[in-house]
A and B are shown apart, each in its own frame.
Chain A
Amino acid sequence: MATLKINDINKNFGKTEVLKGINLNISDGDFLVLLGPSGCGKSTLLNTIAGLETANSGDILIDDYRVNDMEPSDRDIALVFQSYALYPAMTVRKNVTFGLEQRKTSKEKIEEALVNVSNLLKIDSLLERKPSQLSGGQRQRVAMGRALVRDPKIFLFDEPLSNLDAKLRVEMRREIKKLHQKLKTTIVYVTHDQTEAMSLGTSIAIMNHGIIQQCDSPKVIYDKPQNVFVADFIGSPSMNLIKGRIIEENNNLFFECDSSKSKTNIPLKNYKFVQNKNLKDKSVYFGIRPEHVYLNQNSDQSFEIKLKSELNEYIGHEQIITFNFNDQEILGKFSSSIDIPGNQEINLHFDLAQISLFDQKTEERI
């Protein structure tokens, strides 16, 4: 139970800047997910919080106490590693209690904590086994047990599910979520898997090149991405970004797609701009998610358009159709039960309540 504040953290390895002025504010009981492509600095940030790496500048505060100069073991945090990092020569029991023994906890307290945790994680039947005798999922549980048993202020998870197979990953994801609901501990969780991030986090910080691109609730990140990177990173397939510019006709703003051929103007009168200045003639990306392209009108802000279907990718529960929109590709995601003919003009509806516009120069949301 603790708050975590990260103030202006900078970190470089030699000349490579890994973290560039990271600021985060995590309140008690929050589940913050650090999400980003590999090499974006998210694991370094986590290790800095844990004290395994030292920042070049900036402060880390746990419960408003500056912990920069404290040893990892004194920060009262626990870290679950990607490789589980169980001690190979020790039994599960020893693995779980090792940290408590180092802290000179009394025998009775250790036993009590061990019983609680092993019941909670259902590892009580595995206590006498060595890590090499456990399956991947069981190792994962033991690794979590080792973290839980100390009852730390903050849990840190470093891609804990990425070594599991797909089915087990979904299962463990649910268990971590349940665990958080039950224990209400502050958690910082690193992953590169957006589904994991969306389903687990109460807030998500999307990182790229050592900078936090956006930190907000999963819903805001999905609906209102702050910039092109976030828009492109979240969602699968990612958001369609159509090049064009904003024009004004009869005092109304429209999006006009770059094209040599026919002009299709999409009305923007209901779009909530971040600010209203200098919008005219701005070069922008018009962003719409594939799942917001519909076959039928289902919103009062629908915009009807006729596009030619070019490619059909069938993936079981859904199908992804590539359309040609003035020589730019636009993807649509539909239920696989609908029959959509290839190479034909099809009537589509864009839900304009769900669109995003980005400045082509700054790549920021406008």
Chain B
Amino acid sequence: MEKNNLKFEQLETASKKKKIIYRWILFLILGIFALYYITPLYVMIVTSLKSMEEIRTGNLFYLPKSINFDSWLEAWRGQLVNTTSGLKVDAGNVYLKNYFWNSVKMVVPAVAISTILGALNGYALTKWRFKYDNIIFLLFLFGTFIPYQAILLPMARTLGVLGLSNSITGLVVVHVIYGLCFTTLFCRNYYVSISDEIVRAARIDGAGFFKIFFKIMLPISLPILVVTVIWQFTQIWNDFLFGATFSFGEAAPIQVALNNMVLTSTSVKRYNVDMAAAIIAGIPTLIVYVLAGKYFIRGLTAGSVKG
């Protein structure tokens, strides 16, 4: 008995030790990955806060001597130069302000329309049987496999015919059409899990197609709507190809402007302004993730309170 106890104690200490070692290995690996992901962001932020002088002389990883948002301002509203009529924005410079609003004007309607249409499609495909509904769903599925590049030419032609080339409206149309397959797929897969009997009950209660959608389906769709919005917002805000192809000059979205700003500088590369501009271009996506992510989790847990 005594001997047995001793053996168990030895085993216990051994397994405790093992547990601690594994824990440390785990944290080490996680730490390396976290560092790997956070480093570029760190470099971007510190560089954007430094002056060009500091960037030239100092190390990439050094913290700035003093915090100064000049380069952020410059990226947002352009470089101020002395003219005869006081300080003015340099006419030849690309800056983000106008293009940022271009992107907002493009993203908001495009995300809203594609999400609501996707939800409507998903609802119709799952809750109402009609002829060839499976084939239509397959076509939507197929649509998600079409690469961006494949639709450039036909879309350019279509926009030309519609008279929407080089306009924000045109980009909204492009993004709605391209995103529809994805939003439909997301919503369809969500609505499949919702009991058909709810729709049948509503039909017996006397509600029609749209009434059932808006009064009964939409209020319980928050989790999937958030997923769809996050997806669509990220895709559309970060899109460069469609923006660069279907718009130029004043009508371009922010990602195109960012590219122009970084690539077309005539003089020295101004890393601090470039970094600040890149961060500005990325902030809205971050905000959507932070805000919607919270609702996403809330939406997921709301239905789980079971009696």
Contacts and interface: CB of A to CB of B under 8 A. Distances in A.
Contacts of B302: 132
Interface stretch (B38-46, B150-158, B201-209, B278-286): B201-209
A84 B198 CA distance: 8
B195 interface: yes
A79 interface: yes
Interface in B199-251: 200-207, 211, 215-216, 219-220
Contacts of A136: 307
Contacts of B306: 132
Contact of B219 (A89, A99, A138): A89
Given A132-B305, A133-B305, A136-B307, A87 B204 contact: no
Contact of A88 (B203, B206, B220): B220
B205 A81 contact: no
Contacts of A103: 206
A73 B220 contact: no
A187 B290 CA distance: 53
A72 interface: yes
A106 interface: no
Nearest to B198: A85
Contact of A79 (B198, B204, B206, B216): B204
A139 B303 CA distance: 15
Contact of A87 (B198, B206, B307): B198
Contact of A134 (B197, B211, B307): B307
Given A73-B203, A77-B204, 4 more contacts: A52-B200, A87-B215, A98-B205, A139-B307
A50 interface: yes
A13 to B, nearest CB: 11
A82 interface: yes
**Which size bracket describes the interface of A in this complex?**
20 to 34
**Which size bracket describes the interface of B in this complex?**
20 to 34
Contacts of A78: 204
Contact of A102 (B197, B206, B220): B206
Contacts of B203: 52, 71-73
A79 B201 contact: yes
A16 interface: no
A132 B299 CA distance: 13
Interface in A84-137: 84-90, 98-99, 102-103, 132-136
Residue of B197, B204, B207, B302 ringed by the most chain A CB atoms within 10 A: B204
A245 interface: no
Nearest to B307: A135
B208 to A, nearest CB: 9
A81 B305 contact: no
A52 B211 CA distance: 17
A83 interface: yes
Contacts of B195: 83, 85
6 contacts: A71-B203, A83-B197, A89-B220, A99-B205, A138-B307, A139-B307
A73 B303 contact: no
B204 A99 contact: yes
Query: At the interface, is chain B mostly helix, strand, loop or mixed?
Result: helix
Interface of A: 47, 50-52, 71-73, 77-79, 81-90, 98-99, 102-103, 132-136, 138-139, 146
Contacts of A72: 200, 203-204
Interface in B263-306: 302-303, 305-306
Contacts of A135: 307
A82 B215 CA distance: 22
Given A132-B305, A138-B307, A99 B197 contact: no
Contacts of B219: 88-90
B299 to A, nearest CB: 12
7 pairs of A and B residues whose beta carbons are closest in the complex = A89-B219, A102-B206, A99-B205, A73-B206, A85-B197, A135-B307, A85-B201
B197 A87 contact: no
Interface of B: 195, 197-198, 200-207, 211, 215-216, 219-220, 302-303, 305-307
A87 B303 contact: no
A89 B216 contact: yes
Nearest to B194: A88
A138 B303 CA distance: 17
Given A89-B220, A98-B207, A146 B305 contact: no
Nearest to A77: B204
A12 to B, nearest CB: 15
Contacts of A50: 200, 204
B307 A81 contact: no
A99 B305 contact: no
A88 B205 CA distance: 15
Given A79-B200, A85-B195, A85-B200, A73 B205 contact: yes
A99 B307 contact: no
Given A132-B307, A139-B307, A102 B216 contact: no
A81 B205 CA distance: 13
A272 B44 CA distance: 97
Nearest to B216: A87
A132 B303 contact: yes
B218 to A, nearest CB: 8
A183 B4 CA distance: 74
Nearest to A132: B305
Contacts of A99: 204-206
Residue of B201, B203, B220, B307 ringed by the most chain A CB atoms within 10 A: B201
Contacts of A87: 198, 201-202, 215-216
B211 A81 contact: no
A50 B202 CA distance: 12
A83 B198 CA distance: 9
Contact of A73 (B198, B204, B216): B204
B211 A102 contact: yes
A174 to B, nearest CB: 22
Contact of B307 (A77, A79, A83, A133): A133
B298 to A, nearest CB: 14
Nearest to A156: B204
Nearest to B222: A89
